[in-house]
Amino acid sequence: MRTTTVVIGAGHSGLAMSRCLSERSIDHVVLERSEVANSWRTERWDSLRLLTPNWQCRLPGYTYEGDDPDGFMTMPEVAEFITDYAKLIAAPVRAGTTVNSVRRDDGEYRVTTDQGEWRCETVVLASGAFGVPRVPPFAHSVPLAVTMLTPLQYRNAEQLGEGGALVVGASATGVQIAAEIQRSGRQVTMAVGEHVRGPRMYRGRDIHWWMEAAGVLDERYDEVDDIVRARRVPSMQLAGSPERATFDLNALTGMGVKLVGRLAGINDGRAQFSGSLRNKCDLADLKLGRLLDTIDEWATANGLDDAVPPPHRFDSTAVDAAPPLGLDLGSGEIETIIWATGFRPDYSWLDVPVLDAKGMIRHDGGVVDSPGMYLIGSPFLRRRKSSFIDGARVDALELISELSAYLDRRGSPPGAGVNTGS
């Protein structure tokens, strides 16, 4: 089968690209191993809600129009939102089609799936940046009596035994799961490394409203000092709850969660924590202060000071003077470990030499280091918000220009690959 562009993945990123391709009459298919919005349906825990406000759910030609713009969608609601988008734009999705290989062959791409082979001039990788949980290699030293779960396996606290839980990682996923388990009556210990602190509300408005207004979310990949590092920065400690609650470490210790330093290793069944907890928290407090300074400056420059409550600062993160540096995982105190240590993409099916030593795609703002190949949905792809729904909207609008310019250079008129039967 032949088409001009194969889009791999029918999450919001793939669909945003599909809408842009259709607008330019570029013939394409969207190949999806499961169904539209698969990751929101199958890879998220039960209580999860978006941490981005509903009003910020925007895709090319589509915005949230429900009756709760300041709320946070549940997972079934997100899946419905994205499914409705696919219908609205009549995206040519081939569901139940797993891509097993992408090869460059004779100046074009050969995309092999479990439903046959596609040949195309351009490929858009929209298969998701968060499909594989990152688990540290020393996880294999955890005693057998301790159950280990990744965020993809965690559904709710009832899945766990009654004993304590060690949540490793203090980003958005870690803090949300830790809070839920602690509320269920199980004692949570949280291992805290580098993290990004954020209040849900500041000066009467959502932190995402401020970050958008002040241009923080729109910061571009070619403007930051160190894009490699920026792409690795952990997600902000945020959750979307109807109460608009803040989920920083002070909120967690207020619930009874115990904080320890970064989990550095496991020796003879003993978890060893770094002594850097105070430093990591000081750094996060400092960075939060800088973010709030930026917001306050923007508010003043834009004449908002009389319209919103005055600037204020949050208490420093409180940590014990001497948090434990070790914990015997064989004592029975910890029954479950949750590895909230981040995610990575799965490109095991990509047979084009575009991966760096860390297994990440080499690209310049989504233009991959292989002619006619594009990436979307990856952290800080083109701007700070790239991995958010709203980020895919603007990134798709820019990437489509790159893609169609490439086709123009090749001399491929729109719709050139319509012959899908050959």
Ligand X SMILES: Cc1cc2nc3c(=O)[nH]c(=O)nc-3n(C[C@H](O)[C@H](O)[C@H](O)COP(=O)(O)OP(=O)(O)OC[C@H]3O[C@@H](n4cnc5c(N)ncnc54)[C@H](O)[C@@H]3O)c2cc1C
**Nearer to ligand X by C-beta: 127 or 336?**
127
**Minimal distance in Å, beta carbon 207 to ligand X?**
13
Count of chain residues binding ligand X (CB under 6 A): 31
Identify residues 321-380 at the interface with ligand X (CB under 6 A).
343, 349, 377
Residue selected from 20, 21, 32, 174 as contacting ligand X according to rule CB under 6 A = 32
Nearest partner of 231 among 415, 360, 408, judged by Cα: 360
**Nearer to ligand X by C-beta: 98 or 187?**
98
Q: What own/partner pairs with CB < 8 Å and gap ≥ 24 does 73-79 have?
A: 73/49, 73/240, 74/48, 74/49, 75/40, 75/41, 75/44, 75/46, 75/48, 75/49, 78/37, 78/40, 78/50, 79/36, 79/37, 79/40, 79/41
Identify residues 166-185 at the interface with ligand X (CB under 6 A).
173
Q: Is 31 a binder of ligand X (CB under 6 A)? A: yes
Longest dimension (CA), the chain: 70
Q: Which residue is nearest to ligand X (CB)?
A: 11
Q: Is 98 a binder of ligand X (CB under 6 A)? A: yes
Residue selected from 109, 154, 202, 388 as contacting ligand X according to rule CB under 6 A = 388
Residue selected from 22, 34, 101, 272 as contacting ligand X according to rule CB under 6 A = 34
DSSP notation for 290-318: HHHHHHHHHHHHTT-TTTSPPP--PPPPP
Identify residues 218-237 at the interface with ligand X (CB under 6 A).
none
Sequence-ordered list of residues with C-beta below 8 angstroms from that of 285, at least 6 positions apart, any chain: 197, 316, 317
Stretch that binds ligand X, among 12-20, 263-271, 296-304, 332-340 (CB under 6 A): 12-20
Residue selected from 120, 338, 352, 389 as contacting ligand X according to rule CB under 6 A = 389
Tokens of 130: 């968060």
Sequence-ordered list of residues with C-beta below 8 angstroms from that of 414, at least 6 positions apart, any chain: 4, 24, 25, 26, 27, 407
Cross-strand bridge partners of residue 336: 147, 165
Stretch that binds ligand X, among 49-57, 209-217, 245-253, 287-295 (CB under 6 A): 49-57
Distance CA 367, CA 365 (A): 6
Location of structure tokens 């930051």: 224
Q: Is 7 a binder of ligand X (CB under 6 A)? A: no
Residue selected from 20, 86, 126, 396 as contacting ligand X according to rule CB under 6 A = 126
Q: What is the DSSP letter of 233?
A: P
Residue selected from 6, 10, 192, 257 as contacting ligand X according to rule CB under 6 A = 10
Which residues in this chain contact ligand X in the complex, by CB under 6 A?
Answer: 8-14, 31-34, 38-40, 44, 50-52, 98-99, 126-128, 130, 173, 343, 349, 377, 387-389
